Structure 1
Amino acid sequence: MAERPTTNWRRGIAAEAAELAAGTLDPDCACMVDLYSDELLSATDAVLNAFETELATLDERDDEQVFAAVERVVLALNAVNEAHDESAFETDEREQLCLYIDEALTEQGVDVIALTARHGLGRHELTDQWRNW
């Protein structure tokens, strides 16, 4: 399965904690825990859990079904972002989330390039019509 962005964020938190413990990072430079609170990680994982569950039953040949799944995951991530004062997902996080959605669909057999092309979109525009983050 495609690696969730939250896995990457948790790795960053752990690496930063190790650097702090080793004394190789100035505490004033530590930011990972502030960027990725437990609440944000849990809420994002809940959204991605639901998306992964839906992917398991997805008919990869049904464009409407695929777009509906993308819409649901993006709207749910919008809600997570809104709950965190519209600042949960900055540029790097947005890119990771969009890549995750693309990779997860691809692993389920969806040809994302063909899907988006059939609808007059570029591959990286898959989430744009619903995404507020």
Structure 2
Amino acid sequence: MATRPPDNWRAWLAETAREVAAGTLAPECADAADLYPESLLRTTDAALEAFEDEVRTLREPSDDAVFGTVERAVLALNAIDGDSQHGGAGFCTEEREQLCKYIDLTLSEHGVDVAALAVRRGIDRSEITDRWRDW
């Protein structure tokens, strides 16, 4: 099963905290909490859980049904990225790459041939979120 990106981010937060506690990382260099406030982690998890739930309901889906599911997930992530409740934190390059990979892997794990889907739309596999993505 694909690992949700917020799980990766929480692991990095924990590792940073361990390094500070061990004295191998100066506290002023530990800005992980600023990058990943709990509000960002929680809302991203909720959006990805909703995406997973929707993907699980797809049975021999049409391309439009798959892209509709991707669109709803991306729009939810757009709202999270633009939300001021996160203190200016949002999705940077690494987070964007993890989110896109997660969407691809989740679809693949549920039987969607993402490569073929992309070819039928005349796009690269890595572009399946691009039409709606602001982050």
**Cα distance per residue 1:25-64 (max 9 Å; x no partner):** 0111101111000000001001011001111101344111
Distance (Å, rounded) in 1 between the aligned partners of 2:82 and 2:129: 17
Query: Matched residue of 1:3: which SS?
Result: coil
Following superposition of structure 1 onto structure 2, how do residues 8-27 of structure 1 map, counting pairs within 5 Å? 8-27=8-27
TM-score, normalized by length of structure 1? 0.96
Which range is displaced more, 22-31 or 69-78?
22-31
Query: In 2 relative to 1, CA 20–87 (structure 1 residues): closer, same or farther, beyond 3 Å?
Result: closer
Look up the match of 1:34. 34
Greater mean alpha carbon deviation, residues 77-86 or residues 49-58: 77-86
Stretches of structure 1 that go unaligned for 5 or more consecutive residues are none
The residue identity in structure 2 corresponding to 1:70 is V
Aligned residue for 1:112? Answer: 114
Percent identity between matched residues is 56
Q: How far, CA to CA, are the matches of 1:7 and 1:60 in structure 2?
A: 29
The alignment's C-alpha RMSD in Å is 1.2
Q: Which runs of 4 or more aligned residues in structure 1 lie more than 2 Å from their structure 2 counterparts after TM superposition?
A: 84-87
Q: 2:70 & 2:62 partners in 1: Cα distance? A: 13
Aligned length: 133
Alignment of 1:1-133 (within 5 A): 1-84=1-84, 87-133=89-135
Cα contact 1:71–1:130 (8 A) shared by 2: yes
Contact 2:36–2:89 (CA under 8 A) maintained in structure 1: no
Q: Which amino acid aligns with 2:32?
A: M
**After superposition, what is the alpha-carbon deviation per residue over 1:79-111, rounded to whole angstroms, capped at 9, x for unaligned?**
001104775000000000000000000000000
Classify the secondary structure of the residue corresponding to 1:56: helix
Report SS of the residue matched to 2:48: helix
What is the TM-score with the length of structure 2 in the denominator?
0.95
